[in-house]
Chain A
Protein backbone atom coordinates (compact mmCIF):
# COMPACT_ATOMS: atom_id res chain seq x y z
CA UNK A 1 0.00 0.00 0.00
CA UNK A 2 1.29 3.42 -0.97
CA UNK A 3 2.28 5.83 1.78
CA UNK A 4 1.72 9.25 0.34
CA UNK A 5 -0.34 11.80 2.18
CA UNK A 6 -1.96 15.06 1.23
CA UNK A 7 -3.37 17.76 3.48
CA UNK A 8 -5.80 19.34 3.58
CA UNK A 9 -8.22 17.02 1.79
CA UNK A 10 -10.71 19.86 1.36
CA UNK A 11 -10.13 23.61 1.54
CA UNK A 12 -12.54 26.50 0.93
CA UNK A 13 -10.84 29.88 0.93
CA UNK A 14 -11.42 33.44 -0.15
CA UNK A 15 -9.82 35.22 -3.09
CA UNK A 16 -6.39 36.67 -2.43
CA UNK A 17 -5.42 34.28 0.35
CA UNK A 18 -2.13 32.39 0.33
CA UNK A 19 -2.47 28.63 0.52
CA UNK A 20 -0.09 25.71 0.76
CA UNK A 21 -1.08 22.17 -0.11
CA UNK A 22 1.08 19.65 1.67
CA UNK A 23 2.33 16.36 0.23
CA UNK A 24 4.50 13.86 2.06
CA UNK A 25 5.63 10.35 1.20
CA UNK A 26 7.38 7.82 3.40
CA UNK A 27 8.68 5.57 0.63
CA UNK A 28 11.93 7.42 0.00
CA UNK A 29 10.97 8.08 -3.61
CA UNK A 30 13.12 10.53 -5.56
CA UNK A 31 10.48 11.60 -8.09
CA UNK A 32 7.42 13.57 -7.05
CA UNK A 33 4.67 15.20 -9.10
CA UNK A 34 1.68 17.51 -8.83
CA UNK A 35 -1.29 16.97 -11.14
CA UNK A 36 -4.36 19.16 -11.51
CA UNK A 37 -7.66 17.36 -12.05
CA UNK A 38 -10.91 18.97 -13.15
CA UNK A 39 -14.16 16.98 -13.59
CA UNK A 40 -14.38 15.35 -17.00
CA UNK A 41 -10.93 16.57 -17.97
CA UNK A 42 -7.51 15.00 -18.28
CA UNK A 43 -5.13 15.11 -15.37
CA UNK A 44 -2.55 17.74 -16.17
CA UNK A 45 1.01 17.73 -14.85
CA UNK A 46 1.79 21.12 -13.31
CA UNK A 47 5.05 20.46 -11.40
CA UNK A 48 7.57 17.69 -10.92
CA UNK A 49 10.78 17.04 -9.05
CA UNK A 50 13.52 14.46 -9.53
CA UNK A 51 15.07 15.01 -6.12
CA UNK A 52 16.01 17.51 -3.45
CA UNK A 53 16.44 21.04 -4.81
CA UNK A 54 15.11 19.94 -8.21
CA UNK A 55 11.80 21.34 -9.46
CA UNK A 56 10.40 21.78 -12.95
CA UNK A 57 7.18 23.06 -14.45
CA UNK A 58 4.91 20.58 -16.14
CA UNK A 59 3.04 20.78 -19.40
CA UNK A 60 0.16 22.83 -17.98
CA UNK A 61 1.03 26.37 -16.98
CA UNK A 62 0.22 27.06 -13.35
CA UNK A 63 0.57 30.08 -11.11
CA UNK A 64 1.49 27.81 -8.23
CA UNK A 65 5.02 27.17 -7.03
CA UNK A 66 6.65 24.17 -5.40
CA UNK A 67 9.71 23.41 -3.34
CA UNK A 68 11.69 20.25 -2.56
CA UNK A 69 13.89 20.82 0.44
CA UNK A 70 13.46 17.29 1.78
CA UNK A 71 13.03 14.05 -0.14
CA UNK A 72 9.76 13.22 1.54
CA UNK A 73 8.08 16.60 1.25
CA UNK A 74 6.79 18.42 -1.87
CA UNK A 75 4.46 21.31 -0.96
CA UNK A 76 2.55 23.40 -3.49
CA UNK A 77 1.87 27.08 -2.82
CA UNK A 78 -0.49 29.64 -4.29
CA UNK A 79 0.52 33.15 -3.22
CA UNK A 80 -2.84 34.71 -4.06
CA UNK A 81 -5.71 32.31 -4.68
CA UNK A 82 -8.32 33.08 -7.35
CA UNK A 83 -11.57 31.32 -8.34
CA UNK A 84 -9.79 29.99 -11.45
CA UNK A 85 -7.58 27.95 -9.11
CA UNK A 86 -10.58 25.92 -7.95
CA UNK A 87 -9.69 22.32 -8.74
CA UNK A 88 -8.47 19.04 -7.32
CA UNK A 89 -4.71 18.73 -6.88
CA UNK A 90 -3.15 15.27 -6.84
CA UNK A 91 0.34 14.54 -5.59
CA UNK A 92 2.26 11.45 -6.74
CA UNK A 93 5.66 9.86 -6.35
CA UNK A 94 7.77 7.15 -7.96
CA UNK A 95 11.13 5.50 -7.39
CA UNK A 96 13.56 6.17 -10.24
CA UNK A 97 15.74 3.22 -9.26
CA UNK A 98 13.13 0.58 -9.95
CA UNK A 99 12.98 1.31 -13.64
CA UNK A 100 9.26 0.89 -13.40
CA UNK A 101 8.27 3.58 -15.81
CA UNK A 102 4.98 5.20 -15.10
CA UNK A 103 4.18 3.40 -11.86
CA UNK A 104 3.13 6.40 -9.83
CA UNK A 105 1.73 6.26 -6.33
CA UNK A 106 -0.94 8.87 -5.75
CA UNK A 107 -2.22 10.64 -2.69
CA UNK A 108 -5.95 11.04 -2.13
CA UNK A 109 -5.96 14.59 -3.43
CA UNK A 110 -6.66 18.09 -2.13
CA UNK A 111 -9.87 19.66 -3.34
CA UNK A 112 -9.52 23.44 -3.38
CA UNK A 113 -12.43 25.86 -3.73
CA UNK A 114 -11.69 29.57 -4.03
CA UNK A 115 -14.65 31.88 -3.49
Chain B
Protein backbone atom coordinates (compact mmCIF):
# COMPACT_ATOMS: atom_id res chain seq x y z
CA UNK B 1 0.00 0.00 0.00
CA UNK B 2 1.12 3.50 -0.71
CA UNK B 3 2.27 5.57 2.25
CA UNK B 4 3.98 8.85 2.96
CA UNK B 5 6.31 9.42 5.92
CA UNK B 6 7.36 12.76 7.31
CA UNK B 7 9.92 11.89 9.98
CA UNK B 8 9.96 15.29 11.68
CA UNK B 9 6.85 16.25 13.64
CA UNK B 10 8.18 19.65 14.75
CA UNK B 11 11.03 21.77 13.42
CA UNK B 12 12.20 25.12 14.74
CA UNK B 13 14.51 27.39 12.75
CA UNK B 14 15.68 30.96 13.06
CA UNK B 15 14.48 33.54 10.60
CA UNK B 16 16.91 33.75 7.70
CA UNK B 17 18.18 30.21 8.19
CA UNK B 18 17.84 27.51 5.57
CA UNK B 19 15.17 24.85 5.83
CA UNK B 20 14.76 21.26 4.73
CA UNK B 21 11.65 19.20 5.45
CA UNK B 22 11.88 15.49 4.80
CA UNK B 23 9.40 13.28 3.00
CA UNK B 24 9.68 9.62 2.08
CA UNK B 25 7.14 7.58 0.17
CA UNK B 26 6.38 3.96 -0.34
CA UNK B 27 5.03 3.22 -3.79
CA UNK B 28 5.62 0.67 -6.52
CA UNK B 29 6.02 3.06 -9.42
CA UNK B 30 7.07 6.67 -9.66
CA UNK B 31 4.33 8.57 -7.89
CA UNK B 32 3.03 12.04 -8.36
CA UNK B 33 4.31 14.00 -5.35
CA UNK B 34 3.12 17.20 -3.74
CA UNK B 35 3.80 19.58 -0.92
CA UNK B 36 0.96 21.50 0.71
CA UNK B 37 1.13 24.17 3.39
CA UNK B 38 -1.49 24.91 6.04
CA UNK B 39 -1.27 28.20 7.89
CA UNK B 40 -3.04 28.45 11.26
CA UNK B 41 -6.80 28.48 10.83
CA UNK B 42 -6.55 28.06 7.07
CA UNK B 43 -7.07 25.34 4.52
CA UNK B 44 -4.25 23.63 2.67
CA UNK B 45 -2.51 25.40 -0.22
CA UNK B 46 -0.47 23.70 -2.92
CA UNK B 47 3.23 24.70 -2.77
CA UNK B 48 4.60 22.55 -5.59
CA UNK B 49 4.26 19.23 -7.38
CA UNK B 50 6.35 16.66 -9.23
CA UNK B 51 5.03 14.50 -12.06
CA UNK B 52 8.08 13.75 -14.22
CA UNK B 53 11.10 15.34 -15.85
CA UNK B 54 13.46 17.65 -13.97
CA UNK B 55 13.80 16.29 -10.47
CA UNK B 56 14.21 19.73 -8.93
CA UNK B 57 10.91 21.58 -8.92
CA UNK B 58 10.22 25.17 -7.99
CA UNK B 59 7.13 26.25 -6.13
CA UNK B 60 5.50 29.31 -4.70
CA UNK B 61 6.87 31.42 -1.83
CA UNK B 62 10.49 30.56 -2.71
CA UNK B 63 10.19 26.83 -1.96
CA UNK B 64 11.73 24.04 -3.99
CA UNK B 65 11.76 20.26 -3.71
CA UNK B 66 13.97 17.53 -5.12
CA UNK B 67 12.78 14.08 -6.14
CA UNK B 68 15.33 11.34 -5.47
CA UNK B 69 14.17 7.99 -6.76
CA UNK B 70 17.03 6.06 -5.16
CA UNK B 71 16.03 7.35 -1.75
CA UNK B 72 12.26 7.42 -2.33
CA UNK B 73 12.35 10.99 -1.09
CA UNK B 74 10.87 14.35 -2.00
CA UNK B 75 12.37 16.84 0.45
CA UNK B 76 11.21 20.44 0.61
CA UNK B 77 13.77 23.23 0.89
CA UNK B 78 14.00 26.97 1.27
CA UNK B 79 17.29 28.87 1.42
CA UNK B 80 16.10 31.60 3.79
CA UNK B 81 13.05 31.22 6.01
CA UNK B 82 10.73 34.12 6.79
CA UNK B 83 8.59 34.39 9.93
CA UNK B 84 5.49 34.06 7.74
CA UNK B 85 6.59 30.54 6.76
CA UNK B 86 5.54 29.25 10.19
CA UNK B 87 2.87 26.70 9.34
CA UNK B 88 2.26 23.00 8.95
CA UNK B 89 3.63 21.31 5.85
CA UNK B 90 2.17 18.18 4.32
CA UNK B 91 3.75 15.88 1.77
CA UNK B 92 1.30 13.89 -0.37
CA UNK B 93 1.20 11.29 -3.14
CA UNK B 94 -1.53 10.50 -5.63
CA UNK B 95 -3.20 7.16 -5.23
CA UNK B 96 -5.06 5.25 -7.89
CA UNK B 97 -4.83 7.94 -10.57
CA UNK B 98 -8.15 9.40 -9.49
CA UNK B 99 -6.99 12.58 -7.81
CA UNK B 100 -7.11 10.94 -4.39
CA UNK B 101 -4.15 12.06 -2.33
CA UNK B 102 -2.43 10.19 0.48
CA UNK B 103 -0.99 12.63 2.98
CA UNK B 104 1.82 12.38 5.46
CA UNK B 105 1.25 13.34 9.09
CA UNK B 106 2.71 16.80 8.55
CA UNK B 107 5.65 18.78 9.92
CA UNK B 108 4.94 21.82 12.05
CA UNK B 109 7.46 24.60 11.43
CA UNK B 110 8.17 27.28 14.01
CA UNK B 111 10.31 30.30 13.11
CA UNK B 112 12.26 32.21 15.76
CA UNK B 113 12.95 35.92 15.15
**A40 in complex: contacting residue of B9, B49, B95, CB < 8 Å:** B9
Known: A31-B99, A96-B99, A104-B99. A42 touches B4 (CB 8 A): yes
Asked whether B4 lies within 8 Å of A104 as measured between CB atoms, the reply is no
Known: A42-B103, A101-B94. A107 touches B51 (CB 8 A): no
User: Residue B23 at the A interface, CB < 8 A?
Assistant: no
A interface residues with partner B (beta carbon < 8 Å): 2, 4, 31, 33, 35, 40-45, 48, 58-59, 90, 92, 94, 96, 101-109
Asked whether A102 lies within 8 Å of B49 as measured between CB atoms, the reply is yes
Asked whether B43 lies within 8 Å of A108 as measured between CB atoms, the reply is yes
A-B contact pairs, 16 of them (CB 8 A): A2-B43, A4-B43, A42-B102, A42-B104, A42-B105, A43-B90, A58-B100, A90-B43, A101-B94, A101-B97, A102-B46, A102-B101, A106-B45, A107-B43, A108-B41, A108-B43
Known: A40-B105, A42-B4, A42-B105. A48 touches B100 (CB 8 A): yes
The CA of A38 and the CA of B4, in the complex, are separated in Å by 16
A40, A90, A104, A107 pick with most chain B CB within 10 angstroms: A104
B interface residues with partner A (beta carbon < 8 Å): 4, 9, 32, 34, 36, 41-46, 49, 51, 90, 92, 94-95, 97, 99-106
The CA of A105 and the CA of B34, in the complex, are separated in Å by 13
Asked whether A102 lies within 8 Å of B34 as measured between CB atoms, the reply is yes
**A109 in complex: contacting residue of B4, B9, B43, B46, CB < 8 Å:** B43
Residues of B within 8 A of A58 (CB): 100
Residues of B within 8 A of A102 (CB): 32, 34, 46, 49, 92, 94, 99, 101
Known: A42-B4, A43-B90. A104 touches B44 (CB 8 A): yes
Residues of A within 8 A of B51 (CB): 101
Residues of B within 8 A of A90 (CB): 43-44
Residues of A within 8 A of B36 (CB): 106
Asked whether B9 lies within 8 Å of A45 as measured between CB atoms, the reply is no
Extra contacts, 6 of them, besides A40-B9, A103-B49, A106-B43 (Cβ < 8 A), are: A40-B106, A42-B4, A43-B103, A102-B101, A104-B44, A106-B44
